[in-house]
Chain A
């Protein structure tokens, strides 16, 4: 276990946590920790990690982040307010260093939604199956480390036929009480038959110290359930963020997964979608916007296990300076998954000579009656469009920024949560707008 050598403090943290929960949880934690310890951190020798080197992460002897003190929390209020949805109807749960903060949260839950603590959830008969990450689904043992170390979790159970109109928002904030702190955010959504819900997870940080968020989100969609999941990585320049979303869709389940990677020094976003019932449908979209030396990696695996499923991946990357982007999208169509309709697109803009993108579409098809399209393009800006803008009065630099904005905005404008759209647009304007060249649509 050479890659684990440095992680002695996490083992100590685990030892302290090991017996504190209900029996089921203790057992699952122990099993998860064993799996992680056996294998350790992934390295670039592992195929799914070829382009993402975690060495800088694994060299740190991480320790679980402390509980924040009240004085710190008071200071964080402005940060939270900046990111939180202002919409009064939204439910906002704010976790600071892994601990739910009642006074920063707005916990009024809509009818039909139950919020359980990890301990409460552990007592449910469905817990073990829902909480355990399937062996064959993972591309690393990082999700197991989350299972072992997560002290708390957001467990949302949406009752059958419930149709939520407002988003459930979860903010995961890391703050700098101590250096080398790690947090293990865990979210589990159980959408019962024909339930409809939107969950927005925002990952942010405060302070200038490095931190690590190793998060897991599990989305279980029963028959006919619709879940929209937003992931917004808006962490600080010092952040490491490794995340994995696991979605299981039963018959006619519909998942929309929107992924915005804008922040962090290194972000790895694994998305595993299993279409386990006929007629299930998944839309997985993403925007990754890298500058400076950011490393942003999206890894998507969609498994069509049943017939008449459809999945669509649409990812866009914009990479400037020495940023490095990765997109790996795998579509697996099982022998039984006839009539699968699947498409994947990854378009990237490289804005500097030193920016880099590695894009890897991969199709594995074992059924014969399927439609699978994939395409990836990487390029510079369209010269005709640049000239068109300049001929309307925009200087070259302004025209260039305008087109970059447009490229990113094409994904953002489709997002259903207006406040999130506004927030992301503001980020785009800040990065690519100059002298009021671009203003956000009123």
Chain B
């Protein structure tokens, strides 16, 4: 599904990703954990194609194609979805208008027919039902004045409607109370199939009480320094990131 090899990225001349390797197969759920500033959001933005980041080395293949060659909207068309850590507010257009435009754009890219407003509504309802998230928020302006939880729920609704092959969820759990966390996790679990892959990015272990990943990676200073199964999360929880950082230094030293 996704193959990242020796990825190096800089922003404003500052190196952030420093040789990152990651391979995600179909249907797999991977989780990247790491301390603040380790480059988690940078990785997600680089995958989605934000041009503020410069790729200085390495390659990314997504479903057999060179991802780094593609424009952001092409990546969406190919089936990549990024749930933003900080979803953007867009006053003046409703979530419905926004998602209709997005879904039709993606459908057009995929060579599918455009849907009219009524067909759209039907799709929205089906998708919302599957992930158990209310459609009411789509009547409001996109993310405008939404609480943290509402924004994240809205990202999950968008994911459900756009039906990506790979969803990258950047701190989809941060700032959520336990009820909201449950809604978001249930949505992700409802979307899991043997084909669809997920890359969860989180700072906290508690998300993994709700979504059980196949693999966990620890990102420190732009590199994955440790990978393991789900038990790695517990170890991290117990010993903290300092433990991995120490561990890495001693290995490197």
Q: A residues within 8 Å of B by Cβ?
A: 382, 384-385, 387-396, 398-399, 402-403, 405-410, 413, 435-439, 441-442
Q: A387-B50, A393-B109, A394-B102 are in contact. Are A402 and B71 (CB under 8 A)?
A: no
Q: Which chain B positions have C-beta within 8 A of A394?
A: 73, 101-102, 105
Q: List 29 A-B contacts (CB under 8 A).
A: A387-B48, A387-B88, A389-B90, A389-B98, A389-B102, A390-B49, A391-B48, A391-B73, A392-B73, A392-B102, A392-B105, A392-B158, A393-B102, A393-B105, A393-B162, A394-B102, A395-B105, A396-B71, A398-B105, A402-B93, A402-B101, A403-B90, A405-B92, A406-B93, A409-B92, A409-B93, A436-B104, A437-B104, A441-B94
User: 8 closest Cβ contacts across the A-B interface?
Assistant: A406-B92, A410-B92, A393-B106, A393-B76, A392-B102, A390-B72, A393-B105, A388-B88
Per-position contact with A for B62-84: 1 when CB-CB < 8 Å, else 0?
00000000011101110001101
Cβ–Cβ < 8 Å partners of A390 in chain B? 49, 71-73, 76
Contacts of A410 in B (CB 8 A): 91-92, 141
Residues of chain A with a CB closer than 8 A to B90's CB: 385, 388-389, 403, 406
Q: Determine whether B97 belongs to the interface, using a CB cutoff of 8 Å to chain A.
A: yes
Main secondary structure of the interface of B (DSSP, over half): helix
* CB neighbours of B23 from chain A (8 A): none
A391 to B114, CA, bound (A): 19
Q: B87 contacts the other chain (Cβ, under 8 Å)?
A: yes
In angstroms, how far is the closest chain A Cβ from the Cβ of B85?
12
Q: CB < 8 Å: which of A385, A436, A439, A442 contacts B88? A: A385
Q: Give Cα distance in the complex from A391 to B50, angstroms.
A: 9
Q: Given A388-B87, A390-B76, A391-B49: A405 and B93 within 8 A (CB)?
A: yes
Cα A384 to Cα B51 with chains together (Å):
11
Main secondary structure of the interface of A (DSSP, over half): helix
Asked if B92 and A395 sit within 8 Å, CB to CB, the answer is no
A-B contact count (CB 8 A): 96
Contact in complex: B73, A393 (CB < 8 Å): yes
Cβ–Cβ < 8 Å partners of B72 in chain A: 387, 390-391
Complex Cα distance, B67 from A224, in Å, reads 64
A220 to B100, CA, bound (A): 45
B222 to chain A minimum Cβ distance, whole angstroms, is 22
A392 contacts across to B, CB distance below 8 A: 73, 76, 98-99, 102, 105-106, 158, 162
Q: In the complex, A385 Cα to B90 Cα: how many Å?
A: 7
Q: Within 8 Å of chain A (Cβ to Cβ): is B202?
A: no
CA distance A385 to B91 in the complex (A): 10
Q: Which residues of A contact B234 (CB under 8 A)?
A: none
Q: Which residues of B contact A413 (CB under 8 A)?
A: 92
B residues in contact with A438, CB < 8 Å: 93, 97, 101
Chain B nearest Cβ from A398, distance in angstroms: 6
Complex partner residue of B100 from A387, A409, A435, A439, CB under 8 angstroms: A439
> Contact: A391 with B82, CB < 8 Å?
yes
A437 / chain B contacts, CB cutoff of 8 Å? 101, 104-105
CB distance from B188 to the nearest CB of A (A): 18
Q: B82 contacts which chain A residues (CB < 8 A)?
A: 391
**B108 interface residue per 8 A CB criterion:** yes
Chain B residues contacting A389 (CB-CB under 8 Å) are 90, 98, 102
Residues of A contacting B123 with CB < 8 Å?
none
Contact B87 A407 (CB under 8 A): no
- Rounded to whole Å, the gap between the CB of B160 and the closest CB of chain A is 13
Query: Please, which residue of chain A has its CB at the minimum distance from the CB of B115?
Result: A436
Known: A385-B88, A393-B76. 18 other contacts (CB 8 A): A387-B50, A387-B72, A387-B88, A388-B88, A390-B49, A390-B71, A392-B98, A392-B99, A392-B158, A395-B105, A398-B101, A398-B105, A399-B73, A406-B90, A410-B141, A437-B101, A438-B97, A439-B97
B49/A393 in contact, CB under 8 A = no
A436 CA to B108 CA in the complex, in Å?
11
Closest to B117 in A: A442
> Once the chains are docked, how many angstroms separate the CA of A437 from the CA of B75?
18
Shortest B196–chain A CB gap in Å is: 17
